Structures are given as C-alpha cells and as structure tokens.
Amino acid sequence: MKLIPFESLTLQERGHARGGIFRFYDLLHGHEGAPDNFYLSIGVLAGDFVSPRHRHNFDQVRFQLEGAYDFASDGVMRPGSIAYFPEGTRYGPQKTLDEKTLTLVLQVGGASGNGYMSEKEFQKGLAELKSEGTFKDGVFTREKAGGGKVNQDAYEAVWEHVNRRELVYPKERYTHPVFMEPESFQWVPSGPGTASKLMGLFNERATRIAFHRIDAGARLRLEERSLWFVWSGSGDANGKAWRRWTTLQTEAAERPEIKAVERAEILQIGLPRFEDAAAARAAA
C-alpha cells in the first residue's frame, strides 16, 4: 500500500491546454498503456482559469477541497462536493469563482477501454504542437496553408498528435456529469465503529465512489484496487501515520487494515475493473 502525506508534496506548475496558470500537487500515476491507466493530482487554480465546453475520451472524478468551481448549467462545486464526469459527455464551460481553488482530480480510462494518455505523453505532445500553432483558453489554432485558421479542442489536438489518428469519442453513457452532495447522504453502519456513504457505482466497469467514517479506536479494512483520500481525522496504517489530505493506494489483492486515532472521514474511488479485457489480451 502506498501512503502519501500531503505535507510531503511540492506545489508545481506545468503547461496545460486551457486558459490561466495551472499549479498542482502530483499524487499517483497508473500504468501507461493499461485500460485503467490513471493520474491523480490536486489542482490549484487561480481566478484566471477558464475552459470551454468540451468532452474527453476518459472518465474524471473531482472532489472539491477549497473554493468554488463553476461548470455553467452542469452545476457548481463547493468544498465537500464531488462529481463524476463520464467519457464522451460534454461539460462546462468552466471557471473558478474564487481567487484560489483546490480540487482532487482523478483522470482514468473509461469503460470503452480507450485508456488514458499519460501525463508524460501529454506534456511531450503539448510542447511539440506549439511549433505548429497556438493554444489559448482551451483551443488550439492552426494557420491554414491557403489562408485562414482552423480551431480544435486543445486536448483533442494533443491526443491526435500523440496517437497519430483521429480521436473518436465514445458514445454517451450518461447525458450529463453527475454532481453529488455527500452531506445530503446518510451514513449506513458497515461494521464496529464504521459507517459508509455509497455515492454510486458508475458504468459497466463499476467505478466506485464512496465515503467511509471510522470512529476513534475503530479499524477499517480497505478494499483492493482503490484510491483513498483522507477528508478529515487521523490514524495509523501499518505503523505509518495518516491525517487530513493524506492519499493512500491499494493495488490488486491488497486489503490492509487501518486504525483511526480520531474520528475520520475518507473518500474511496474504486478503479474501473478490466479483468476480462486483461484475460482476453493474455489469451491472444
């Protein structure tokens, strides 16, 4: 099991395909080329961030930590709210409503099996495309040979450059992003001193979003293949301390037990399951 204290992280800045300055804390990466490849980070955005209405060929889960984030008709995310953005579904335009926002962001391969372009691949493609056009406010613009301009979604342009083929979006499984307010859900007892709130299982690959509460002195056995984010409280995991905003990861067949020193609330994101696809590839 991996355990990453928030205090050990360094705030970084990187190039991106939207408008404004993008700062972030790098948390966890999946396996490049795998259908469930993922990237987990905490985005730190200022009031100058903007992004047009767009869609992706991967799934996203966003958990708002600080500040408010506006997604136009889709809704507003405030601290404690969480949302699932399905592949192929348009959302936005989006902008920050405060001078500073912090959001836990998971980008992960969706049910279609398209996977997720790694951060390394994206940054390389972004740098290369800058010699062929310009990026501004989420749009990539090329000059046409005979005059005029061609605009394209910025991420889509980078993806096509990296993969050398047209990006074909999956059909919509959901017509809108799913915005959720965990405070409105009731805690359901799940064991001695523990309770849970299931936000949902999404698509046929069963991406899971849930919250778990652990009373002081109680223990919780973590499920495998999941990412865990401590929203509040503190405790111990195999001799390692965890506290507010600590991130944990359990791999396949890992089910460690953690103990709360003070009452804790922890977000679980269970990664999509592609065991049948992996078995088919192995057989081929």
| pLDDT tens-place string over residues 203-250 | 999 999 999 999 999 999 999 999 999 999 999 999 999 999 999 999
State residue 284's pLDDT score: 57
Q: Are the CB atoms for 77 and 42 separated by under 8 Å?
A: no
How far is it, in rounded angstroms, from Cα 137 to Cα 87? 21
Number of Cβ atoms within 10 Å of the Cβ of 215: 16
Query: What pLDDT was estimated at residue 137?
Result: 77
Please, are residues 207 and 240 in contact by the beta-carbon 8 Å criterion? Answer: no
Per-residue pLDDT, 96: 87
Q: What is the pLDDT of residue 11?
A: 96
* Residue 195 pLDDT grade (very low, low, confident, very high; cuts 50, 70, 90): very high
**pLDDT attached to residue 143:** 86
Region 128-139 average pLDDT? 87
Q: What are phi and psi for residue 251, nearest 5 degrees?
A: -90, 180
Average pLDDT of every residue of the chain: 92
In this model, does residue 255 exceed pLDDT 60? Answer: yes
The pTM for the full model equals 0.91
Listed in order, strand segments (DSSP E) in 47-193 are 50-51, 59-66, 69-70, 76-77, 82-85, 94-96, 100-108, 134-136, 139-143, 149-153, 178-180, 188-191
- On the question of pLDDT at 279 being above 70, the answer is no
Please give the span between the terminal C-alpha atoms of the chain, in angstroms, as a whole number: 31
From 215, 210, 223, select the one nearest 260 (Cα to Cα). Answer: 215
The Cα–Cα gap between 245 and 71 comes to 24
Whether the pLDDT of residue 283 is over 70: the answer is no
What's the pLDDT score for residue 148? 85
Omega of the bond leading into 93 within 30 degrees of 0 (cis): yes
Q: Quick one: DSSP state of residue 22? A: E
Task: Taking residues 8-25, report their average pLDDT.
Answer: 82
pLDDT (0 to 100) of residue 59? 98
Residue 282's pLDDT is what?
Answer: 59
